[in-house]
Amino acid sequence: MALDTDVTTNSLGFAKPPAETRVVVAMSGGVDSSVVAAELAAEGYDVVGVTLQLYDHGAALAKKGACCAGRDIHDARRVAEAMGFPHYVLDYENAFREAVIDEFADSYLGGATPVPCIRCNERVKFRDLLETARDLDADCMATGHYIRREAGPRGPELHMAADPARDQSYFLFSTTAEQLAFLRFPLGGLATKAETRALAAKHGLAVADKPDSQDICFVPNGDYASVIEKLRPGAGEPGEIVHLDGRVLGEHRGVIHYTIGQRRGLGIGGLSEPLYVVKLDPEARRVIVGPKEALATRTVPVKEINWLGDAALESRAEWHLSARIRSTRPPREAILRPTGPTTGEVELIVAEEGVSPGQACVFHATGGTRVFGGGWIHKG
C-alpha cells in the first residue's frame, strides 16, 4: 500500500522502526478503516484500534448501511482480533448528540441543509478522538478516508485523493493544520476502491466484501424529517407553498421536508411550468418555489472558514481558486474575497444552481489537487 506521507525511516514518516511507532486507527467497522489497521499491523506498527459508539447501541443493532452501527462495532472488533492488536470502543453518545445531532436538527428547523458528517469529523473524530490518541501516547492517528496528506515547503498539505470518484476532501475541509500534522490517510494514494478490497481479501478480513455505508449513521433510511420530528416535536407544522410572484399554490406538510433545489414531491401539480424550491422561510412556515433559473447563484457568503493556504487568509483582497458547493459536484472557478478572519464572499465565475445554506463551500487549487480548506454557506 502506497502511503501518502513524506517518508524518512518508516512509511508513516517517523525516524524510528514501525514497532516503536504507535498509531491509533479510527475504525468504523467498514472495509476502508479495517484495511488501514490491518496493513499497518502487518507492517509491524504498534496499532491500537478505536471505534466510537456514537448513538443508541440498541437501535444501532437493527440498523444496516450506516457507518457506526452496532454490527460495525462487532466487525471492527473481529478485524482487531484477527490481526492481533488491541481494540477499544469509546462511548461518545453525549458528545455526538451535543456536537452533531442537535445542530443537525436545529439547522433543518432554520431552513438550512446541514452536512453532519463534516461536523462529526470536525468536532468528534478529529478533536475528541484525536486527543484520546494523544493520551494513548500515539505518534499519529490514521483513518480510512480517501484524501492525501503531502509534505509541502511550509508543512503538511491536504490534497484530493488519487481516485476522484472516492475523494472525500469535501467532508474534511475543516481539518486544521495542527490536526493535519498528527493525522495520516494511508488510502488516499490508491487508484481505485477495488485495490482496497483486494488488500482486505489479502488479509482474510471478513469485511472484504462489505458494502459501503450510504446513510447518515443516525438517520435510518435517509428519512431526515422523522428524525427531526422526534428530536424537535412540532417541527413538522404545515404552511403555505408560495410562488416567487406571491401566488399561494398550496400547503406543505412542514418546512423540514423540503430542501433547496427540490422539484419532486411538492404536491402542486397542474401548473404549466416545472417549479423548484428556491427558498425556505421557517419563521413564516413558507416554502418558496420558482422556475429553475431562479436557483442560479453567483455570490456565496461563507463563514467559519478554515484556511489551509500558505499565506494568511486576509493577506490578500482576493484569492483565485476553485470552489465546490456540493459534495456531488466538481470544483468550479471562483474568487474568494475575505471579509474577516473567518468569513468571506465567494464569487462563482459561472452561476451554480441549488446553493444552499448549511452546505459547505470547499476551496481547491485551480487545476490542481491541493485543498485550501473551506467554510459554511449561510444566508448572508
Could you report the average pLDDT of every consecutive run of 10 residues in the chain (380 residues)?
Answer: 56 94 95 96 97 67 52 90 95 89 88 89 91 96 96 94 94 95 95 89 89 76 81 85 93 89 83 88 91 94 97 97 94 97 97 92 96 92
Establish whether 217 is a catalytic residue: yes
In DSSP terms, which residues pair with 345 in a beta bridge? 301, 337
pLDDT at 131: 93
* Start-end of H helices in the chain: 31-42, 57-61, 70-83, 93-96, 102-109, 116-120, 130-135, 177-182, 193-202, 224-231
Distance CA 114, CA 304 (A): 14
Q: Does domain 236-290 have CATH number 3.10.20.340?
A: no
pLDDT at 2: 47
**Do residues 50 and 129 lie in contact, with contact meaning Cβ atoms separated by under 8 Å?**
yes
Superfamily classification of domain 297-377: Translation factors (2.40.30.10)
Q: What is the pTM of this model?
A: 0.88
pLDDT at 6: 45
- Kindly provide the residue ranges of all beta strands, DSSP E only, lying in the chain, ordered along the sequence: 22-26, 46-53, 87-91, 140-142, 147-152, 155-160, 183-184, 239-243, 248-252, 276-281, 286-290, 296-307, 319-324, 332-338, 344-353, 360-364, 370-377
pLDDT at 61: 39
Candidates 117, 140, 217, 361; catalytic one: 217
pLDDT at 233: 82
User: Cell digits for 122?
Assistant: 470536525
Domain range annotation of the chain = 18-221, 236-290, 297-377
Establish whether 117 is a catalytic residue: no
pLDDT at 62: 45
pLDDT at 60: 40
**Do residues 379 and 357 lie in contact, with contact meaning Cβ atoms separated by under 8 Å?**
yes
Candidates 67, 68, 117, 120; catalytic one: 120
Q: Is the dihedral of CA 132, 107, 262, 379 positive or negative?
A: negative
Distance CA 25, CA 85 (A): 11
The contacts of residue 162 (CB under 8 Å, 6+ apart) are 148, 188, 189, 190, 191
pLDDT at 8: 57
Superfamily classification of domain 18-221: HUPs (3.40.50.620)
Spacing of C-alpha 98 from chain mean position: 17
**Do residues 30 and 52 lie in contact, with contact meaning Cβ atoms separated by under 8 Å?**
no
pLDDT at 56: 62
